[in-house]
Amino acid sequence: MKFEDPEGATLLDPDEMYGLKFDHIRTRAELDELEHTNITEGLRWLARRCGGNSLNEGFIRTLHKRLFGKVWDWAGTYRLHEKNIGIVPHQISMQLHMLLENAHLWAQNSIFEPLEAGARFHHRLVQIHPFPNGNGRHARIAADIYLADYFEHPPIAWASGLDLQGDNARREAYIAALRAADAGDFEPLLKFVAGNGGAKM
Ligand SMILES: Nc1ncnc2c1ncn2[C@@H]1O[C@H](COP(=O)(O)OP(=O)(O)O)[C@@H](O)[C@H]1O
Ligand SMILES: [Mg+2]
């Protein structure tokens, strides 16, 4: 359920504010802006990073902390509660470890084309849903790092000029593609990462 203030801005509900480092934040738009600033700083940190293995749990958590740690207390720590998306919390560490091992093997043994490896990595990471929030944004960036570090491949055009956080045809195609992949059909996600999954604008 969404709360609205008299000016029509979407207010955050109390659940959504748990761990928020700023107590003056009331609306979704204010939060989006704070997160956006944090993510921009996180991406700057990433650009300065030289070397290091990006396929390990420590890096995955540090990345989340760099992207969201100025806004949320729990950034970089695993989810403790069940959500409607994601595996049960106590399996997060083990399943993430397995994904990172698999992703390493996919690259080492050229099991998939780079884009398919990136898409599968992203899908499983967001399906595990390691963190309380920010999983979509984190897992898109993590997949781009995997592509760069292990395949020397350019990043995926996730948004393709639109905002994947907002409501639009590209986001609809993205969510539908993730759901198809949940059911074992990776075709829509492969089309999506190739740039022609749904609304290409
Ligand atoms: N049915 C779904 N509805 C919304 N998001 C989904 C769904 N299935 C998978 N996801 C993934 O979960 C992400 C949303 O999780 P969340 O932790 O809120 O991340 P973020 O805050 O970065 O959007 C989406 O970006 C998408 O990657
Ligand atoms: Mg979210």
What pTM was computed for the model? 0.93
Burial class of residue 194 (count of CB atoms within 10 Å of its CB; 0-12, 13-18, 19+): middle
Which ligand is nearest the CA of 86, by number?
1
Alpha helices in 24-91 (DSSP H): 28-48, 57-68
Per the structure, the complete domain to which residue 73 belongs is given by 53-156
Q: Whose CA is closest to atom 18 on ligand 1?
A: 133
Q: What CATH number has the domain bearing residue 98? A: 1.10.3290.10
What would the two tokens of residue 122 be? Answer: 């992203």
d(CA 45, ligand 2 centre) in Å? 22
38 class by beta-carbon count within 10 Å (0-12 exposed, 13-18 middle, 19+ buried) = buried
pLDDT at residue 200 in the model:
41
Count of domains forming the chain: 1
Structural domain includes residue 65: yes
Q: Which residue owns the Cα nearest ligand 1 atom 4? A: 175
For 193, residues 6+ apart whose C-beta sits below 8 A from its C-beta are 115, 118, 119, 156
Q: How far apart are CA 72 and CA 12, in angstroms?
A: 14
Residue 201 falls within a domain, yes or no?
no
Residue 16 lies in a domain: no
Is 100 contained in some domain? yes
Whole-number pLDDT of residue 196: 60
Closest C-alpha among 80, 92, 72, 55 to residue 134: 72
Q: For every one of its 201 residues, what pLDDT tens digit does the chain have, with 9 covering 90 and above?
A: 566 665 678 888 888 889 999 988 999 999 999 999 999 999 999 999 988 899 999 999 999 999 999 999 999 999 999 999 999 999 999 999 999 999 999 999 999 999 999 999 999 999 999 999 999 999 999 999 999 999 999 999 998 878 887 878 999 999 999 999 999 999 999 999 998 654 443
Q: What is the number of the ligand closest to the CA of 129?
A: 1
The answer to the question of residue 152 being in a domain is: yes
pLDDT on residue 163: 81
- Name the percent of the chain lying above pLDDT 90: 80
Token pair of 160 as six digits: 């393709």
Residue 11 lies in a domain: no
Domain contains 171: no
The answer to the question of residue 117 being in a domain is: yes
Cα dihedral sign, 133-175-45-112 = positive
